[in-house]
A and B are shown apart, each in its own frame.
Chain A
């Protein structure tokens, strides 16, 4: 587990750097750019890439009761093909008969191919693996297909969820990230998620809480922020919303792993 040691060392260095510069004042966008620059100058690498390295190590490791690596899995472009696979997710998979996002497809691979039981699937491993697979789509453009009827159905449901106003704050995704996009809640800028094609920037390292997040984590964070109990990981509301948002981002260059506040 040589890489894991690097990950630990690298992260502690980076988190130290972030803490040292945490008092930075200025616009949130400037803050992100400045933090990113400072981390690159001090450690030469961004945190997201460290997670991707750990994911890479896990990916090629033969594991589980079936003692196979993830090269035996199909991420949509054929068994063992990783390059460009994330750019087409979420997508419909014939073998499960479902639309899956990167998180759920990694878990499917761990369970169905490696034989790992559900309760032994570690979230941190899914995140690192997803980050690695996502990084291997750099240079590709987002290209989500609605051709399969189930994919189209999930897109339509994702759109309905995007506009669903619920909970004690009467909120929906659209209120912040469409109707009021580019304004601020307190000092936090509201991203134009569809317009700026942010779906193609995840998974991302969030320096505000020093952790690697996939889009699933981000969506769950959003629901928490608006007083709606978030959907569980790997569940269909998260996949449907990503289907909607990623399709809106079609054509955008894949830049994961991202670096965000």
Chain B
């Protein structure tokens, strides 16, 4: 009898200790308000890329791209090529563009990453309206061309504004820009 009571008691004890199974929500909340604040602020696009591990099902791609296009804002002036010298600073600045983290650009900058394609002589593509527009939109929202790309959505996320995006476009495409040594040989 005594044994039974002990068994019952230990069972009750175990039940009292048994916690609700953890969920993604409860785990994120346990990380603290700051962490949960960022994780719970995921937008629809981030959620889709997370759930599908960066590879969207084919039938979702068209709608996703349409959504990304709708998130792109353009400079009020309508001019998509701004000031290349300003663009060079934003490109290098770790607080805004931070582009050297992943891209090689001006050849003299050796501390450049290789996650993204090399952008040295990007300006060889010329400055047709199509190239300028593609370059601007890719910088403002990389996911408008490649869903869930490693490249972050600099404009959509507010790291740079529309005029800063246009400045980076100018840095990439202006023949005199030092990113284009093949175009500015004397």
Contacts and interface: CB of A to CB of B under 8 A. Distances in A.
A216 B24 CA distance: 18
A230 B114 CA distance: 26
A185 B113 contact: yes
A98 interface: yes
Binding site of B, secondary structure by majority: helix, strand, loop or mixed? loop
A250 to B, nearest CB: 21
Nearest to B22: A153
A172 B50 contact: yes
Interface residues of B, number: 43
B32 A231 contact: yes
B53 A164 contact: no
A184 B42 contact: no
Contact of A237 (B27, B41, B158): B27
Contact of A184 (B23, B50, B115): B115
Contact of B38 (A153, A229, A235): A229
A29 interface: no
B152 interface: yes
A214 B37 CA distance: 25
Given A183-B113, A184-B113, A236 B27 contact: yes
Contacts of A240: 22, 27
Interface stretch (B13-21, B58-66, B75-83, B120-128): B13-21
Interface in B1-33: 14, 17-19, 21-24, 26-28, 30-32
Nearest to A241: B27
A211 interface: no
Contacts, number: 123
Given A165-B148, A228-B38, A236 B31 contact: yes
A111 interface: no
A179 interface: yes
A171 interface: yes
Contact of A229 (B34, B148, B153, B157): B34
Contacts of A232: 31-32, 35
A229 B150 CA distance: 20
Contacts of B41: 166
B112 interface: yes
A163 interface: yes
Interface string A203-243: 00000000000000000000100001111100111101000
Interface string A160-174: 110111111111101
Given A179-B150, A235-B30, A237-B30, A163 B21 contact: no
Contacts of A122: none
Interface in A155-197: 157, 160-161, 163-172, 174-175, 179-180, 183-187, 190
A153 B21 contact: yes
B69 interface: no
Contacts of B39: 164, 166, 228
A165 B35 contact: no
A26 interface: no
B134 to A, nearest CB: 20
Among B23, B27, B42, B102, residue most surrounded by chain A Cβ atoms (within 10 Å): B27
Interface of A: 94-99, 149-150, 153-154, 157, 160-161, 163-172, 174-175, 179-180, 183-187, 190, 223, 228-232, 235-238, 240
Given A231-B32, A237-B28, 4 more contacts: A96-B17, A157-B27, A164-B50, A184-B114
24 contacts: A97-B17, A97-B19, A157-B24, A163-B54, A164-B39, A164-B46, A165-B54, A166-B39, A166-B41, A166-B46, A168-B158, A170-B152, A170-B153, A171-B152, A174-B53, A183-B115, A184-B113, A185-B101, A186-B111, A186-B112, A228-B39, A229-B37, A230-B31, A237-B27
Interface of B: 14, 17-19, 21-24, 26-28, 30-32, 34-35, 37-39, 41-42, 46, 49-51, 53-54, 100-102, 111-115, 143, 148, 150, 152-153, 157-159
